[in-house]
Amino acid sequence: MKGVTVVEHPLVQHKLTLMRKKDTSTSQFRQLLKEIGGLICYEVTRDLPTETIRIETPLTEMQAQSLSGKKLVFAAILRSGMGMLEGMLELVPAARLAHVGLYRDPATLECVEYYFKAPAELADRWVIVVDPMLATGNTAIAAVDRLKEAGAKTIRMACLLASPEGLSKFRGHHPDVAIWTASIDERLNEHGYILPGLGDAGDRMYGTK
C-alpha cells in the first residue's frame, strides 16, 4: 500500500513474534516494545534532513553531517504509545514530546479526547505519532487531526501492528502521513481488535488484565 512501509528487519520480526505469544510476561512485553520502538524509529527517521558542519576531531578538522532543523516531536497516543516512546527516546534523547489522550468508546469504537499537550512551533518540526496498534484507525486519525489543528505540517506515524481496514481508513483521511509498521495483520475482529494481533497492548504492557 502506498505510503506504508513494513519494517521487515529480522530483529524486529523476531521481537514481534515474542510479543505476540500469549505467555510472554508483562516485563518481557514492555522490554520488547521499547526495543522495537527504537528499531522502528531508526527506519522512520532514515531520511531526516542533515547539514554539513565543520568540526575538530582530536587529530584534524573535517566536514561532518549533523541533524538540521528544529528538534523532532514524538507524539505518543496514551497509553500504549508510551511503551514504544521509551525506545525512541533512547535513540533521540533531545526530541520534544507531545501527549495525546484518546480512548476508544467500547460500544461505538469512536474515540474520545481527554488530554492534549504539545510543544510550540509544531509547524517547523517533524512530528512522529506513536501508537503500537493501528486497529480501526479512528484513534490515529483523531490524533493526527488534533496535531494538524495545533499546527503540525510534517507528520509520520510509527506503529507496531496495523490492520488492513485501519490502514486504508487512515490513508483515506491523511494521505500525506506515511506509516511505518512491523506487520500488516489479517483483519479486525468484531470488537475492533487486530487478528492474529497480540491482544490489548496497554493491558499487556502494564499488566492491567
Chain residues binding ligand URA by CB under 6 A are 80, 133, 135, 193-194, 197, 200-202
Judged by beta carbon, residue 116 or residue 193, the one nearer ligand URA is 193
Judged by beta carbon, residue 72 or residue 76, the one nearer ligand URA is 76
Judged by beta carbon, residue 92 or residue 144, the one nearer ligand URA is 144
Shortest approach of ligand URA to residue 171 CB, angstroms?
Answer: 18
User: Residue 98's beta-bridge partner residues?
Assistant: 75
Shortest approach of ligand URA to residue 113 CB, angstroms?
Answer: 17
Greatest distance between any 2 Cα atoms in the chain? 65
* 175 phi/psi in degrees, rounded to 5: -65, -15
Shortest approach of ligand URA to residue 169 CB, angstroms?
Answer: 14
Contacts (Cβ under 8 Å, ≥6 apart) of 164: 184, 185, 186, 187
Shortest approach of ligand URA to residue 186 CB, angstroms?
Answer: 12
Strands of the 133-134 sheet, one edge to the other? 133-134, 161-162, 183-184
Judged by beta carbon, residue 120 or residue 195, the one nearer ligand URA is 195
Helix (H/G/I), strand (E/B), else coil: 173: helix
Separation between Cα atoms, residue 65 and residue 62, nearest integer Å: 10
